A and B are shown apart, each in its own frame.
Chain A
Amino acid sequence: MSNESEHSSFPEGTSQEISGRSTLESFAYDNAIVKNFAWATTIWSIVGFLVGLIVALKLVWPDFLGFIPELSYGRLRPLHTNSVIFAFAGNAMFMGVYYSLQRLTKARMYSDTLSKVHFWGWQLIIVSAALTLPLGFTTSKEYAELEWPIDIAIAAVWVIFGWNMMGTIFKRREKHMFVSIWFYIATFLTVALLHIVNSFELPVSLLKSYSFYAGVQDALVQWWYGHNAVAFFLTTPFLGIMYYFIPKAANRPVFSYRLSIVHFWALIFLYIWAGPHHLLYTALPDWAQSLGTVFSIMLIAPSWGGMVNGLLTLRGAWDKVREDPVLKFMVVGVTAYGMSTFEGPMMSLKNVNAIAHYTDYIIAHVHLGALAWNGGLAYGMLYYIIPRIYRTKLYSLKLANIHFWAATLGILFYAIPMYIGGIMQSLMWKEFLPDGTLRYANFLETVTQLIPMYMIRAVGGTLYIIGACVAAYNLYKTAKSGSLLTDEHVKSAPLAESVSTTHKHWHRVLEAKPLRFAVLSLIVVLIGGIIEYVPTAIIQSNIPSISSVKPYTPLELQGRDIYIREGCVGCHSQMIRPFRSETERYGEYSKAGEFVYDHPFLWGSKRTGPDLHRVGGKYPHAWHYMHMMEPQTISPGTIMPAYPWLFTDNTMYHELEGKIITMRKLGVPYPEGMEQKAEKVARAQAEEIANDLPENKTMPVDANKEIIALIAYLQRLGKDIKAVGAH
């Protein structure tokens, strides 16, 4: 290897005790596991991006790919987000961790078996996600859509990863843990915590469960998870990767190690509090919203500290950035990290959030993060690692450059139209005429304006995919031209156990004690979660109750599950914010007490279509019936897809008994005996709705079809508090 130092590293303070080279231990780095994760990320990235392109095209041509339920927008969108986060970025992260951890600890991974179980277990989870999500098995909670058996598998595989990592750290030959390892430990602990807490759910059947939490609590837990999944799955591990690979690629030490330590502690402490900024102006308590904003603003400091530290590591090596694809990708990645981490806190300001939230601005923001930051570091690593483990040179520098420009331009073509479209649509939502009515009273008018932006976005996405395919080809040819060094044999001095740490600086002691360090990081992370979350959890029994809010009828519950299965939440929110522009358009703003029986909550995060919280009773049954069958007939120019299968598939009445029992266990006060008569009650309500629908010769109305259950749910939405005014 070209830039390998001639000197072995003797742990500080132990050099005198090592008498000579005879004490060096021989061992080998496991490159096979790095190779596995490298190819997994290369292949899954293309799959994830392609699904993204399909859903992007569906927003331009809703009929694209016909009306196959498994390929509908609502079901494919979570597959896209999950595959990009967990399959592309996840495998990239593991590739980086397995490569750098072994070299930073001067030790082989703790157990080859655990490495393999981790790799194959993770791929199995990805495959099960790729099967279950299109089939409609989803919890509907963003980035946590996978159903309970897969959640358990994720927890098990994650623990195996952590066990293998901690085992390696314990048997290390380098006394001090470099800052990258700190980021990896924090990643492992926090993601485990987030995943377990957010996945509390009660199973109804093998692939159906209801969230343990309801309404406001569910929303808070979900966004505590959702936000910190971005922080601890897509940020901290990649920062660890940045701190290892940028110095390696530039052959320069970290610009400021002190800054990296401040970066670490400040980042993990602040990040955990910021989750509520996803719920500004919602029914979440104000104090929690404000805390979320304050901590988000403070996050700029450590984030930019980290970015500056990464970029300044390149001081004196900027000439290399012109030529080396590794550094090119990493510099774009770190720069995008800086932009995203400035944009994020700005969007958490309430006045900015009022404009940006629910729009495509957020879509641009997350793609800047995923494609530029995670993508930049992932491809930088691939171009660094593949030639080294295959003991060869990169097949084509030219192809790598083509990839770089395709990716960079792709990101710009993606993000810029989405930024413009997002702001434009938001301003249209809020525009009033002098007489006090909405200028664009029909939501659809604000959507049709976006279509050209959606087209340009698809072009940007296509460019990025072309780049990813070029990279896969280039990496494949590189691998073919070399041979894999499965076990990279090296030697290093063992860790002298006799070294006393009593007289050392306390932080240095911490650097040498992984367990103590891990406990401390966990405490730091827990503080934010507990102080912010516990008071809100206590509200459950004290939430301002609205006596007229009642549990869903069995048919509505079944309809709600169809709404969840079809991923309606991907385009429709159910949370009207207290703005005049929203109450004018949708009706009374949403109250916390209205969601107490919502397991899970369905507030949504994006409005490609209008909010539905007060849609109940707004239109006749027949409107919904026709709208779901042929949206274009009811709303010409709409991009809402048709759902023909809801008119042919029967409502699964037999599931209701189990669902009612499960809901009651979760605290929903269904009367005694409701589980036995649920089916009868549901059938009677379905008949009522069907009788209300006009006769249709081409397709006779059948009360047993799923569309009837869905209509029952939609017609119930937001109606309960209207009963208060009635008496």
Chain B
Amino acid sequence: MIRNVLQTIGGIEVYPIISLLMFFGLFATVLIWFFRVDISHVKTMASIPLEDAQSDENGK
């Protein structure tokens, strides 16, 4: 089955290479970001759910 499929798609050999490169690229990018990100910014982001907007009783 696999031989039939591979024989009929031109340039199929490049598919796994493309997927490997994309895979590697995405993870390398995320890793670079992971180690270079500004920690204070990360702390701010982590607390966003806890920072509620100020209640406005007069707004009613």
Contacts and interface: CB of A to CB of B under 8 A. Distances in A.
Interface of A: 1, 4-9, 12, 24, 26-28, 100, 103-104, 106, 173-174, 176, 178-180, 243-244, 247-248, 251-258, 261-262, 265-266, 269, 283, 285-287, 487, 489-492, 505, 507-508, 511, 524, 527, 531, 535-536, 538-539, 542-544, 592
Contacts of B58: 489
Contacts of A262: 30-31, 34
Of B31, B33, B44, chain A has the most CB atoms within 10 Å of the CB of B33
Question: Lowest 4 CB-CB distances: which A-B pairs, in order?
Answer: A489-B59, A490-B53, A542-B8, A9-B51
Interface string B20-60: 00110011001101101110011111111111111111111
Contact of B49 (A6, A27, A178, A511): A178
Contacts of A6: 54
A176 B5 contact: no
A180 B45 CA distance: 11
Contacts of A511: 45
B33 A261 contact: yes
A505 B44 CA distance: 15
Contact of B54 (A103, A179, A491, A508): A491
Contact of A592 (B1, B15, B46, B51): B1
Given A178-B49, A535-B15, A544 B4 contact: yes
A511 to B, nearest CB: 8
Contact of A531 (B6, B19, B46, B53): B19
B21 to A, nearest CB: 11
B52 A103 contact: yes
A411 B45 CA distance: 35
Given A180-B49, A247-B50, A531-B18, 11 more contacts: A5-B51, A12-B41, A28-B59, A176-B48, A244-B49, A254-B49, A266-B27, A287-B5, A490-B55, A505-B41, A531-B19
20 contacts: A8-B53, A9-B53, A26-B59, A100-B49, A103-B53, A106-B53, A178-B48, A243-B49, A253-B49, A257-B42, A257-B45, A261-B33, A269-B26, A489-B55, A489-B56, A489-B57, A489-B59, A527-B22, A539-B8, A543-B4
Nearest to B6: A287
Interface of B: 1-2, 4-6, 8-9, 12, 15, 18-19, 22-23, 26-27, 30-31, 33-34, 36-38, 41-60
A489 B2 contact: no
A181 to B, nearest CB: 10
A494 to B, nearest CB: 12
B54 A542 contact: no
Contact of B8 (A103, A286, A538): A538
Contacts of A12: 41, 44
Contact of A542 (B5, B18, B51, B53): B5
A252 B48 CA distance: 11
A258 B34 contact: yes
Contacts of B38: 505, 508
Contacts, number: 139
A487 B37 CA distance: 38
A538 B48 contact: no
B2 A286 contact: yes
Given A507-B37, A508-B41, A492 B5 contact: no
A26 B43 contact: no
A702 B23 CA distance: 61
Contacts of B15: 531, 535
B1 A247 contact: no
B56 to A, nearest CB: 4
- Residue of B34, B45, B55 most packed against chain A (CB within 10 A): B45
Contacts of B37: 258, 505, 507
A100 B47 CA distance: 14
A100 B38 CA distance: 26
B26 A265 contact: yes
B55 A4 contact: yes
A507 B33 contact: yes
Given A287-B5, A490-B56, A253 B41 contact: no
Nearest to B22: A527
A167 B55 CA distance: 23
A535 B51 contact: no
A490 B48 contact: no
A4 B57 CA distance: 14
Contacts of A265: 26, 30
B8 A491 contact: no
A535 B7 CA distance: 11
A4 B52 contact: yes
Contacts of B18: 531
A490 B54 contact: yes
A490 B60 CA distance: 10
Contacts of A176: 44-45, 48
Nearest to A12: B44
A286 B48 contact: no
Nearest to B38: A505
A632 to B, nearest CB: 41
B49 A5 contact: no
A174 B12 contact: no
A326 to B, nearest CB: 14
A535 B9 contact: yes
